[in-house]
């Protein structure tokens, strides 16, 4: 009886020790786990914004209401939904708050890339890039317009080089260094903006692509594709961006003149 009780106590002690060890190791993990540059939210409205944005993304997928369901449609729709909400205008107008969102999505993208969940990593990187471009062109006026080709490529490029290189060069940690070494020799791919392009998934070697010199916002695999897309491209993108570039250039000129006086 005594021996049995002792054995029982021994088991209980051993169990407690194991539990303690497990608790300790999970605590260590929490302390040392890298957040890839995202510090836990201090600004409530940004946390709310981010979670609602992702809800909107999932909602557009679940509704299945887009004629051509593509990740691009879902990200655009979710961003439009957030943009129309009055309560978030303070986020859309504040570069500081936007930068917190950039850091958050870079961190999520990195986390998913390290877990080889490339699909999710692309969506998060795309959001980070969108807010980065938004800050530069809409809030800080450091560039004429948002770089659409860059945003699209992060989401759609079939190579991992584009994605990993984008994230690696923005996070403050070294978590993607190994992965970057593995992918940096693969060719970066670009998306041909002609929707009827005959290349598989409209993907081609990016270094060999032609860029629309008027707006610099659209890339093509060939002269043929550029010509075929021109009527549509002019209407939906090129005119608008070309106008933004022209007014940006004249603003810069005025700033220079003011500086000279």
Distance (Å, whole) CA 248 – CA 27 = 51
For the record, the structure tokens of 153 come out as: 């490529």
169: phi then psi, degrees, rounded to nearest 5: -80, 0
> In this chain, which of 50, 98, 167, 175 binds Zn ion, going by CB under 5 A?
175
Q: In angstroms, how far is CA 83 from the centroid of its own chain? A: 17
User: Which residue stretch of 64-72, 123-131, 152-160, 170-178 sits at the interface with Zn ion (rule: CB under 5 A)?
Assistant: 170-178
> In this chain, which of 99, 187, 188, 214 binds Zn ion, going by CB under 5 A?
214
User: Which candidate, 2, 227, 12, 248, places its Cα nearest to that of 144?
Assistant: 248
User: Which candidate, 183, 188, 240, places its Cα nearest to that of 209?
Assistant: 188
The answer to whether residue 59 forms part of the interface with Zn ion (CB under 5 A) is no
Provide, rounded to whole angstroms, the least separation between the CB of residue 216 and Zn ion: 7
Distance (Å, whole) CA 18 – CA 118 = 35
Site string for Zn ion, 109-148 (x = CB under 5 A): ----------------------------------------
> In this chain, which of 60, 162, 194, 226 binds Zn ion, going by CB under 5 A?
194
Angle in degrees, CA 224, 227, 232, rounded to 5: 135
**Other Cβ atoms within 10 Å of 16 Cβ, number:** 10
Cβ distance to Zn ion smaller for residue 91 or 175: 175
Report which secondary-structure segment, H or E, holds 210: strand 210-211
Cβ distance to Zn ion smaller for residue 173 or 255: 173
The answer to whether residue 163 forms part of the interface with Zn ion (CB under 5 A) is no
> In this chain, which of 197, 203, 206, 226 binds Zn ion, going by CB under 5 A?
197
The answer to whether residue 149 forms part of the interface with Zn ion (CB under 5 A) is no
The answer to whether residue 215 forms part of the interface with Zn ion (CB under 5 A) is yes
Q: Which residues bind Zn ion (CB under 5 A)?
A: 34, 36, 173, 175, 192, 194, 197, 212, 214-215, 221, 225, 238
């Amino acid at each position: 009886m005594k021996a049995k009780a002792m054995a029982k106590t021994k088991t209980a002690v051993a169990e407690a020790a194991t539990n303690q060890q497990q608790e300790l190791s999970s605590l260590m993990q929490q302390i040392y786990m890298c957040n890839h540059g995202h510090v836990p939210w201090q600004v409530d409205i940004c946390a709310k914004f981010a979670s609602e944005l992702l809800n909107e993304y999932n909602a557009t997928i679940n509704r299945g209401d887009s004629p051509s369901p593509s990740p691009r449609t879902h990200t655009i729709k979710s961003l439009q939904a957030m943009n129309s909400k009055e309560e978030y205008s303070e986020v859309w107008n504040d570069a500081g708050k936007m930068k917190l969102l950039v850091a958050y999505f870079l961190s999520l993208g990195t986390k998913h890339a390290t877990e080889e969940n490339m699909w999710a990593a692309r969506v998060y990187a795309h959001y980070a890039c969108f807010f980065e471009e938004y800050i530069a062109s809409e809030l800080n006026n450091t560039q004429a317009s948002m770089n659409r080709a860059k945003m699209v490529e992060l989401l759609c490029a079939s190579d991992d080089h584009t994605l990993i290189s984008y994230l690696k060069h923005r996070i403050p940690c070294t978590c993607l260094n190994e992965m970057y070494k593995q992918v940096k020799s693969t060719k970066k791919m670009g998306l041909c903006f002609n929707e009827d392009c005959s290349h598989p998934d409209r993907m081609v070697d990016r270094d060999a692509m032609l860029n629309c010199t008027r707006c610099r916002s659209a890339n093509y695999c060939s002269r043929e594709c550029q010509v075929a897309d021109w009527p549509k491209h002019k209407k939906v993108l090129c005119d608008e961006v070309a106008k933004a570039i022209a007014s940006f250039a004249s603003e810069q000129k005025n700033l220079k003149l003011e500086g000279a006086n």
